[in-house]
Amino acid sequence: MKAEIITIGDEILIGQIVDSNSAFLGKQLNKIGIEVYQITSVQDEEEQIINTLKDASKRVDLIITTGGLGPTKDDLTKKTLCTYFKDELILNKQVLEHIEDIFTKYVSTPILPANKTQAYLPSKSTALFNRYGTAPGMWIEKNQVVYISLPGVPYEMKSLMRDEVIPRLKQRFQTPYIIHKTVVTYGLGESAIADLIEDWEEALPKHIKLAYLPNFGRVRLRLSTRGNHEDQLYEELNQQIDKLHQYIGHIIKGFEDELSLEENIAQLLTQKQLSISTAESCTGGKIASKLSDIPGASAFLKGGLISYATSAKADALGIASEVIDKHSVVSAEITVEMAKKSLAMFHSDLAIATTGNAGPTKGDSKAEIGTVYIALADKQGVNVQKYSFGNQRERVTYKAVNKSLELIYDWIIQKKQ
Amino acid sequence: MKAEIITIGDEILIGQIVDSNSAFLGKQLNKIGIEVYQITSVQDEEEQIINTLKDASKRVDLIITTGGLGPTKDDLTKKTLCTYFKDELILNKQVLEHIEDIFTKYVSTPILPANKTQAYLPSKSTALFNRYGTAPGMWIEKNQVVYISLPGVPYEMKSLMRDEVIPRLKQRFQTPYIIHKTVVTYGLGESAIADLIEDWEEALPKHIKLAYLPNFGRVRLRLSTRGNHEDQLYEELNQQIDKLHQYIGHIIKGFEDELSLEENIAQLLTQKQLSISTAESCTGGKIASKLSDIPGASAFLKGGLISYATSAKADALGIASEVIDKHSVVSAEITVEMAKKSLAMFHSDLAIATTGNAGPTKGDSKAEIGTVYIALADKQGVNVQKYSFGNQRERVTYKAVNKSLELIYDWIIQKKQ
C-alpha cells in the first residue's frame, strides 16, 4: 500500500514557506502501515496539477493533496479536481451551515459570497468535516485509487487527518505494520560508527533497512521493517538492537521514535516530581522554549532567565562587572554563576546555564567563535563543561541546545529519587 | 529557465525530518531568476531516483538533488548518478586532501576507508568544494540539462549553494528577474480582504500573479512578476501596491520579502539604538529566541525572564502570592507586573510580557483556554491587551508570539528618537 503526497502552492516552490505538512502526513500514514512513496510539490497551475495526479495514480494507491482550498481566486484545487474527474461542484448544505456557524461565532466581519463558495464540492466527493476552518476535506475514489484533498493550513490539515482521514483509511484498507526504531548515539561520526558495526550491519536480515542520520552532533541509526505481526516485528528489531549494543553500547543514548528527547525529559521529570529552570545566553531561550512546547510543562518547568547582552549578566544576575571583566562573559565562571542564580531564583531541582559565542563576530567575549560553556547546578553542586561547536552560527546554537538537553537527560537518569 | 529539486532520502518520506533545504533552494534560485517548477522527494532507491531524474530532465533545464552523499551504505546518490550517466567513479585528489585535512583538524577518530570513498566522483562531474564537510557537491551537464548534486546536511548544502553553485549558475545562464513582493496585513480574513480589493485584483495586469497566504492571524498578499528589467519590475509592483493601499491601507503592516518581521525589528532597534527585554509565560522563551536568532542580537536584546510555573511569578518576579491569587495567574495585572519587572531588571527601553492559557487544560489559571494577555512597558508606562487565540495549543502559542512581534514593531515605528 503506497501513497503519494502532492502539495499545491507556489509558496512552497519559491521558498516562502517550509513544507512541514508532508512530514506530519508521512508519520501518520506510516503509523497505519501506509508507505509514502513520493512527495511532489507543484505550482498553483491546473495543467501541472492534473499531470501530477495522473502520474501519481500510476504509482500509488492513495493520493493526498494539500492546499488550494481557500476562498480566493488563487485557490484552484476544487476546480482542478472537477476537470480531472469530469465532475461539477454542488452545494453541500451541512458544510454551508458549518461555515455560517464559524462566522457567527468567531469572525467579526460578515459572511461573503466567497466564503459560501467553500460549501460547493465536487459531486463525486465525500466531504470531510473541518472543525477548525471553513474549507472541508474531500474523499474521492476512482479506479481503485483513493484521492484525499486537505486544506494547507497546518492545524486544519492535522485535525482532519486525525479525526476524519485516519479512521476512514483504517476501515478501507488492510495494511501491514511499518515499524521504525531509531537509536540515538552521541559522540562519534557516521563513518566511525559504520566501521564499528560493520559485522552487525552485514548480518542484518534483508527485510530490515538501516539508515544513518547525522544531525548537529548526533548520529541516529534508523531500523525499519514491515510485516503483518506487530509484536513479532518489534521483537525482531529489539533483538537486533540488543546485538547492536554489544558493538556501540557506550554511545547509545536512547531511542527517538516514541518520544523526542524533550518529551522523554518531560515525562521523567514529571514522574520523578523534579523541576527545572534555565539561564540562557547563547541559546537565547531555546532550551526553555523546547521544554515549554510540551503540554503539561508547567508541572516541571519553573522558568528561566535569558541574559543575552553582557549588561544583563550584571543587571539581572547580579554578577559584579569586575568578575565578568576578569573571566570574560563567555567563561566557565560566569556560566556557573548563571546556573546557581537560576537555581536560587526559581527554587528548582536542576538549573542549566549556557554561555557561548555563536558568531558571526566575537562581540564582547574573548572566547573563540563556536565555544560554548554549559553548566548544571543542583543542590549538590555545579558542573561545567566547555564545548567547541564549529564556526557556523545556526549550528553552534542548535548543537548547544541539543547538548544541553542531553546533559539534562543524563542528570535525570542518574538522579535517585 | 525552470528547475526541479529532488530530495533523496527515506527520512523525509517517513516524516522523520522536515525538508527545509528545498525552501532555501527555492529562495536562492528565485533570486537569480530561476523558477522552481517542482520539488520531488524520493526514497533511497536506485530505480526510483533514476526514473525521477529522467522525468525531471523532460520538464526542466536544471536539476538539483540533495542527500545520499554520506560515507555509509545507505547513501546511493553517486552510484545512481553513475548508472544514470553511464559513468564510473574516479579519485579526485583535491577532495581527498580536503577530507584528510578535516580529519586532522576536527575529528578525534582516525580516517577510515569509508571516508576516503567520498573522494571518488563520477568522471563526468566537476567537484564543488564543500568547506564544511567531507562530501563534495557535483556538477554534470548532459543534453542541455545541468545536474547538480548536493549533500543533505543543511549548513553544508547552504554554503555550497552560496559559494559554488550560485556564482556558476549566474555565469552559465542568462535568466530574467523574478520579483516577489509580499504585503503583510493583520486583522482581516482572506475572504474579507478579497472582497475589499476585488476591483484592484480584477485590474491587475495578467503578468502579475497574486496569492493569498493566511497564517496564524495574518494574511500575506504576494505579488509576483518576471522580466528582463529589474528596476521596471519593481516600479510596476510598487505602483500596484500604492493602489492597494487605497483599498486596505489600514491593515497593511509592512512587507515580508526582504526582511522578516524579526529582522525588521532587529534593524530598527539597532538603528534607533533601542533595547528590548522580555518576560514570557505562555510563550516560554519563544519571543527572545526569535530575536536572538538574528546575528548581532546582542546590540538590542538585553535578556528575558521566563516565568512558566505559577511559583516562578512569585519567586522570580517578586509578585506577592496574594496578588496572584486575587487576579489569577493569567490576567492583565500579572502581565503588567511582569513587563515592569523585566524593564527594571534589564534596564531596557521596551519590555514585552505574555501570560496566557494555551491548553490543553486550564492549569492554575482561571482564564479560558486561548486567552492571552500581552503587555508592553517603557519609561512612559504600560499597556496591556487581552486576546483570544482559539483552542489549539500550538496555534495559541504562535499567534501570541506573532502578535507580540507586531506590537513590538508598532511600538518602534511610533517611537520618536
Note which residues in 348-387 of chain B have CB less than 8 A from chain A.
359-361, 363-364
Please state which of the ranges A40-54, B145-159, B306-320 shows the lowest mean pLDDT: B306-320
Closest to B333 (Cα-Cα) out of B370, B366, B296, B369 = B366
Q: What is the pLDDT of residues A79-133, one digit of tens each?
A: 999 999 999 999 999 999 999 998 888 777 888 888 899 999 999 999 999 988 8
B21 touches A: beta carbon within 8 Å: no
pLDDT for A122 = 97
Of B74, B114, B394, the CB nearest to A191: B114
Interface contact B12, partner A, CB < 8 A: yes
- Residues of chain B in contact with residue A155, where contact means CB-CB under 8 angstroms, are 392, 394-395
pLDDT digits (tens, 9 = 90+) for B177-207: 888 899 989 888 888 999 999 999 999 998 9
Q: ipTM of the assembly? A: 0.71
Which has more confidence, A351 or B215?
A: A351
- What confidence category does residue B390 fall into, taking pLDDT thresholds of 50, 70 and 90? confident
Distance from CA of A85 to the nearest CA of B (A): 23
Residue A41 sits at the chain B interface (C-beta within 8 Å): yes
Rg (CA), chain A: 26
Mean pLDDT, rounded, for A169-176: 90
A399 contact residues in B (CB cutoff 8 A): none
Mean pLDDT of B403-412: 92
For A279-308, what is each residue's pLDDT tens digit?
Answer: 999 999 999 999 999 988 989 999 999 998
- pLDDT for the residue numbered A342: 94
Size of interface A-B (CB pairs under 8 A): 345
Q: Give helix then strand counts, H and E, for chain A.
A: 17, 17
Chain A contacts of B16, Cβ < 8 Å? 23, 27, 180, 182, 213, 222
**Per-residue pLDDT, A13:** 95
Give tens-digit pLDDT for A119-131: 999 999 999 999 8
